[in-house]
Amino acid sequence: MKIACFLYPDFTTIDLVGPLSPWSHIPGVELEFVAANKGPMATDSRLSVLATHSLDSFTPNPDVIFVPGAGRPTFDAMQNDAFLDAIARAGAQAKWITSVCTGSLILGAAGLLEGYRAACHWYARPYLEKFGAIPDDRRVVIDRNRASGGGVTAGIDFGLRMAAEWVGEDTARLIELIMEYAPEPPFNTGRPELVDAQTLSIAKQMAAQIMPEELATIAAKRRGLLHLGA
């Protein structure tokens, strides 16, 4: 099984590494890390990673395409025609079209989510509608061959659910044990409904700086282009 992961500058490292953790335990999985250029790529955690293939050189017809999310860098990815075209091209043939966090907005910008339910980071989730997708607040959303995880750490849950789809639940249960995935969130504040009003207010102010209303404009423009092209 060939999985093509589409990377862009300053994407959120754990959006990618969360699902890689279970996937790398599946025998026969072949991973390609695809970006504008082969070589080092900065990520949000200050760890740089290596893209193994450029947009021109990845193996055609991957079985799975995967796009991680980001904060503001999502905007640049959503306006990068070469990047979106490569995703749309690979997605046209893929058995699974997948994302974590705001990666679903990028799939939307590539025209791959019209009429599909999708997950996204809690703050950015409403913007999915701009691409004709149906925002879904579950941590992992599977709608036909589209599968998406919610914000950031949801990538681990998403990755394990995909492992079960691909190699069966017995193997996925084993991988969950090997990964010692019995989480104990220290503060139980991982969803807006769980947190006090002040913390939520600060988080929303921070998010509004990262994901301002400008996103709606970018999305509308991109969707217009998609429909012109269709």
Enumerate binding residues for a copy of itself (CB under 8 A).
12-14, 16-18, 20-21, 23-24, 31, 33, 40, 44-50, 101, 121-122, 139-140, 150-154, 156-157, 160-161, 164, 169-170, 172-174, 176-192, 194-196, 199-200, 202-203, 206-207
C-alpha pair distances (Å), 151 with each of 17, 166, 185? 13, 22, 15
Instruction: Please tell me the distance from the alpha carbon of residue 87 to that of residue 52, in angstroms, as a whole number.
Output: 16
Return the number of the residue (37 or 217) whose C-beta is nearest a copy of itself.
37
CB of residue 114 vs a copy of itself: minimum separation in angstroms? 25
**Contacts by residues 111-119 (CB-CB < 8 Å, ≥ 24 positions apart):** 111/84, 111/226, 111/230, 112/87, 112/88, 112/146, 113/146, 116/143, 116/144, 116/146, 117/141, 117/143, 117/146, 118/143, 118/146, 118/148, 119/148, 119/149, 119/150, 119/154, 119/158
Which string of DSSP letters, residue by residue, matches 156-196? HHHHHHHHHHHH-HHHHHHHHHHTT-----SSS-SSGGGS-
CB of residue 196 vs a copy of itself: minimum separation in angstroms? 8
Return the number of the residue (16 or 110) whose C-beta is nearest a copy of itself.
16
Other CB atoms within a 10 A radius of the CB of residue 67 amount to: 33
Instruction: Please tell me the distance from the alpha carbon of residue 102 to that of residue 76, in angstroms, as a whole number.
Output: 12
Of the residues 5, 34, 94, 101, only one is catalytic, namely 101
Return the number of the residue (182 or 230) whose C-beta is nearest a copy of itself.
182
Return the number of the residue (115 or 212) whose C-beta is nearest a copy of itself.
212
**Across the chain, how many H-helices and E-strands are there?**
8, 11
Q: Confirm whether 5 is a catalytic residue.
A: no
CB of residue 118 vs a copy of itself: minimum separation in angstroms? 15
CB of residue 224 vs a copy of itself: minimum separation in angstroms? 30
CB of residue 67 vs a copy of itself: minimum separation in angstroms? 15
Return the number of the residue (195 or 216) whose C-beta is nearest a copy of itself.
195
Residues with catalytic function: 101
